[in-house]
């Protein structure tokens, strides 16, 4: 178990098994960040949504803002892995990219789908 004590504005970390644990503990207390992952709708794709991620962790409190920005978006198929979906979310300067490829459906398939959807 990780233990973090704060004294006189400094952090003392105990119980970390490696250096990653040390930096994780410091980050988690001072500036908690998370990698944001969600899905974005795809138009004309073999799948209706594509999974996306922020390329780096973003501040925890920016997550709601980032999610609501991503909710406004859609992408057109084909989508490639690591294609940029948004240049920057929630004013962080951190980009959001696709994490899985989505192939485009053939033109006739698309017509068929639209018909079925009414």
Does residue 67 bind another protein (CB under 8 A)?
Answer: yes
Report DSSP letters for 15-81, one per residue. S-SSHHHHHHHHHHHHS-EE--EEEEEEESBSSSEEEEEESS-EEGGGHHHHHHHHHT--EESPB-T
We find the least distance from the C-beta atom of residue 29 to another protein, in angstroms, to be 12
User: What character string, x for contact with another protein (CB under 8 A) and - otherwise, covers 86-105?
Assistant: -------------xxx----
Does residue 38 bind another protein (CB under 8 A)?
Answer: yes
The interface region with another protein, picked from 6-14, 45-53, 87-95, 109-117 by CB under 8 A, is 45-53
């Amino acid at each position: 178990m990780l233990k973090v004590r704060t004294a006189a504005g400094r952090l003392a970390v105990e119980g970390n098994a490696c250096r990653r644990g040390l930096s994780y503990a410091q980050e988690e207390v001072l500036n908690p960040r998370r990698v944001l992952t969600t899905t974005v709708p795809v138009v004309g794709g073999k799948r209706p949504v594509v999974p996306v991620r922020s390329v780096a962790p973003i501040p925890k409190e920016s997550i709601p803002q980032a999610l609501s920005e991503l909710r406004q978006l859609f992408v057109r198929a084909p989508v490639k892995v690591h294609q940029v979906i948004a240049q920057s979310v929630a004013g962080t300067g951190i980009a959001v990219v696709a994490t899985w490829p989505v192939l485009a459906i053939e033109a006739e398939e698309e017509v068929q789908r639209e018909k079925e959807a009414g």
